[in-house]
Amino acid sequence: MDRKSRYSAGIKRKVIVVDDEYVNRQMLGFIISQKYDVMYAENGRDALEKIKTVKTELSLVLLDIMMPEMDGFELIKIMKDDEELRHIPIIVLTSEESAEVKSLKLGASDFIMKPYNRPEVILARIGRIVELNEGRHIIQDTERDTLTGLYNQNYFYEYAVQLDQYFPNWEMDAVVIDVDHFHLVNSLYGRQFGNEVLVKIADTIRSILSETMDGYACRYEADKFYLYCTHLDDYEVIRSQIMEELFTLGDDKRVRIRLGVYSDVERQLGMEERFDRAKLACNRIRNNYTQAIAYYDNKLHKDAIFAERLIHDIHDAIVNKNLVVYYQPKYGVQGEKPVLKSAEALIRWNHPEFGMISPGKFIPLFEDNGLIQILDHFVWEEAAKQIRKWKDEYGVTVPVSVNVSRMDIYDPRLETRLLDILKDNGLEPSEYMLEITESAYSDDSSQLIEVVQSLRDKGFKIEMDDFCSGYSSLNMLTMLPVDVLKMDMQFVRNVHTDENSFKLIKLVMEIAEFMNFTVIAEGVENKEQYDLLKQAGCDLIQGYYFSKPVPADEFVQFFDKD
Ligand code: C2E
Ligand code: CA
Ligand code: CA
């Protein structure tokens, strides 16, 4: 009778406990013998013989690693090479973490930590593996992530759901652990190092799961980890434990992790939804250098619903012309009196229900799902029409800069699209500037550099937006196709109150002069800031000091002052 039929016939499933130490065998046997029909073996060779005699009747092998005669690793190898035995699941019994990883890689399904101090967890693990194996034969390669040995996402969800079923009353947390700017870690220190980081995090999570809490973990989308585990009030311990381990890879390397926690999950939500909530919390601190752990709460929930609503409404907004482009002037300040030089096009959404929504609220949403391109194309066209209109009606040429998102740059039709827009409106590339945020350059992609270089060759002026917000290194600057550095607002903010800020700005000015970049400061709000920036040699200034972004028809007031 094979293992499945045994069970349907009401006969206990057969399992074998392989351990050279008598006490260990008996302890484990004691825990599981109520539910299982237990056989025993004292080393690999002994076990192999017994396994061969029962073969298809056997539901599970519980296997110690360090044993005389034939050790656990060897037995796993033999079983995995044997057509008849390879489908019998194996759980490794170990007190050493290093053994776990190796045995999982060899094809064990799971591991149980010695000493056996949590019988209910042991029973749950065993039950899960046995049932899974009966449902279908697990293909080990797809179940685990080859780099870290953690589960893949699908299996992870399945096991997490099972854990819920076994322990319906446990308070559980869904946790997302994300490596900050992982692509930067890769490009600064190499992919090999990037992999080491991921493995280190996975190993630490694994040991936390076997020592301090119960649960499962998986790797998700390259640089994230999902953790479904028993509730913890404060995740700082977990974070610092992982950070400490990462430190051992070299304390000169800057690697940082972020945690998003959805505490005490609602069981009626699907597993994916629970992790969406944790992810939401995690994303909220994406560019926040002072906070590394975020907890999901009601406000986040409301924000998420609002975000969904905006995503839903964007098509109507375009059709109903609720999107409007505002213009903010940029002044040349090095002459005797400030002179209007150009403008930046900034989108506004006049929502029929919520009123004016600032782009800070919706642009990030659309960057995540690609809708940003629709918005950008709209703004590019509007801006070109506007330049034309000002030329025709007022005889003035005001070059306008538009924002170009990261996603636009990787669109192969970008250049033709821009050139078509100019042609349709009878404009020259020199009358149209492109702002590309500094963080896009940090992708360090040769494709990006090629695309931008080619645009520049066509005559477009390129501004590096948000310069100094934290991504570029000075030596990168020498290789980048850029005409104008647009100093980040944060950087300008303290120029009049903090001497170091001012020194830094002067330094940027010196470098810019040396490399022949024009410099523009944005977010200039008052006379003190204005005077200092002018004194430091800044060429152009944009900010509330001159004007907020205004609708096109109000913008003409700046012509007169000229
Ligand atoms: P940004 O490109 O860095 O634009 C500058 C932002 O600073 C604008 O906010 C502008 O209104 C604001 N600002 C200008 N002067 C001052 C000042 O003196 N003080 C302060 N506190 N703020 C000032 P806005 O219009 O809310 O845009 C926010 C961000 O949204 C922009 O940052 C840009 O990243 C994005 N954005 C706006 N329009 C578009 C667009 O058409 N396409 C894309 N891809 N992004 C856009
Ligand atoms: Ca900009
Ligand atoms: Ca900016």
**Nearest CA, atom 8, ligand 1:** 346
**Nearest CA, atom 35, ligand 1:** 359
Q: Is the separation of the CB atoms in 404 and 417 below 8 Å?
A: no
Quote the strand ranges of 337-431, DSSP E.
Answer: 339-351, 355-357, 400-404
Ligand 2 geometric centre to CA of 403 (Å): 5
537: helix, strand or coil: coil
- Ligand 1 atom closest to the Cα of residue 325 is 41
Which tokens sit at 193?
Answer: 């190092």
Q: How many angstroms separate the CA atoms of 205 and 339, rounded?
A: 59
Q: How many angstroms separate the CA atoms of 206 and 64, rounded?
A: 19
> Which of 103, 97, 42 is closest to 70 using CA atoms?
42
Q: What would the 3-class secondary structure string for 202-266 be?
A: HHHHHHHHHHCCCEEEEEECCCEEEEEEECCCCCHHHHHHHHHHHHCCCCCCCCCEEEEEECCCC
**Nearest CA, atom 24, ligand 1:** 359
Which tokens sit at 17?
Answer: 């406990």
Segment holding 64, helix H or strand E: strand 58-64
> Which of 259, 241, 248, 246 is closest to 198 using CA atoms?
246
Report the residue among 330, 331, 357, 363 best suited for mutation to probe ligand 1: largest number of ligand atoms under 8 A from its CB: 363
Which domains are delineated in the chain? 3-143 (3.40.50.2300), 153-296 (3.30.70.270), 313-561 (3.20.20.450)
Ligand 1 site residues, Cβ closer than 6 angstroms: 328, 346-347, 358-360, 363, 372, 375-376, 379, 403, 405, 465-466, 522-525, 543-544, 549
Which tokens sit at 517?
Answer: 């970049």
- Ligand 1 atom closest to the Cα of residue 488 is 3
Is the dihedral angle over the CA atoms 115, 120, 121, 122 positive or is it negative?
positive
Measured at the CA of 490, the angle between CA 449 and CA 559, to 5 degrees, comes to 80
Report the residue among 324, 327, 346, 411 best suited for mutation to probe ligand 1: largest number of ligand atoms under 8 A from its CB: 346
Q: How many angstroms separate the CA atoms of 552 and 348, rounded?
A: 12
Q: Is the separation of the CB atoms in 467 and 487 below 8 Å?
A: yes
- Ligand 1 atom closest to the Cα of residue 326 is 25
**Nearest CA, atom 32, ligand 1:** 360
Count the neighbouring beta carbons within 10 Å of the beta carbon of residue 161.
Answer: 12
Q: How many angstroms separate the CA atoms of 156 and 271, rounded?
A: 10
- Ligand 1 atom closest to the Cα of residue 545 is 18
pLDDT by 10s per residue, the chain, length 562: 565 555 556 678 899 999 999 989 998 999 999 889 999 999 999 999 999 998 878 999 999 999 988 999 999 999 989 888 888 999 999 887 777 777 877 888 888 888 887 888 888 888 888 877 776 544 455 677 889 988 888 889 988 988 887 788 889 999 999 999 898 888 888 999 999 999 999 999 988 887 778 889 999 988 999 999 999 999 999 999 999 999 999 878 889 999 999 999 999 999 999 999 999 999 988 877 789 999 999 888 888 889 889 999 998 998 899 999 999 999 999 999 999 999 999 999 999 999 999 899 899 889 878 899 999 999 999 999 999 999 999 999 999 999 999 899 989 999 999 999 999 999 999 999 999 988 777 766 678 889 999 999 999 999 999 887 765 656 667 777 899 999 988 888 988 898 888 888 898 899 899 889 999 999 999 999 999 999 999 999 999 999 999 999 999 999 965 4
For the entire predicted model, the pTM comes to: 0.64
Which tokens sit at 213?
Answer: 């809490």
Ligand 1 geometric centre to CA of 41 (Å): 70
- Label residue 452 exposed, middle or buried (CB < 10 Å: 0-12, 13-18, 19+): buried
Ligand 1 geometric centre to CA of 346 (Å): 6
Report the residue among 403, 411, 434, 463 best suited for mutation to probe ligand 1: largest number of ligand atoms under 8 A from its CB: 403
Per DSSP, 176 falls in state E
Residue 510's contacts (CB-CB under 8 Å, 6 or more residues apart) are none
Which tokens sit at 20?
Answer: 């050279």
Indicate which ligand has the atom closest to the C-alpha of 488.
3
Segment holding 293, helix H or strand E: strand 293-295
Dihedral, CA of residue 243, residue 249, residue 251 and residue 255, to nearest 10: -50
Ligand 1 geometric centre to CA of 357 (Å): 12
- Ligand 1 atom closest to the Cα of residue 525 is 18
Q: Is the separation of the CB atoms in 407 and 414 below 8 Å?
A: no
Ligand 3 geometric centre to CA of 466 (Å): 4
- Label residue 388 exposed, middle or buried (CB < 10 Å: 0-12, 13-18, 19+): middle
Which tokens sit at 127?
Answer: 């039950």
Per DSSP, 323 falls in state E
Q: How many angstroms separate the CA atoms of 367 and 359, rounded?
A: 11
**Nearest CA, atom 15, ligand 1:** 543
- Ligand 1 atom closest to the Cα of residue 372 is 44
Quote the strand ranges of 65-138, DSSP E.
Answer: 90-94, 110-113
- Ligand 1 atom closest to the Cα of residue 402 is 41
Residue 277, amino acid: R
Residue 459's contacts (CB-CB under 8 Å, 6 or more residues apart) are 428, 429, 430
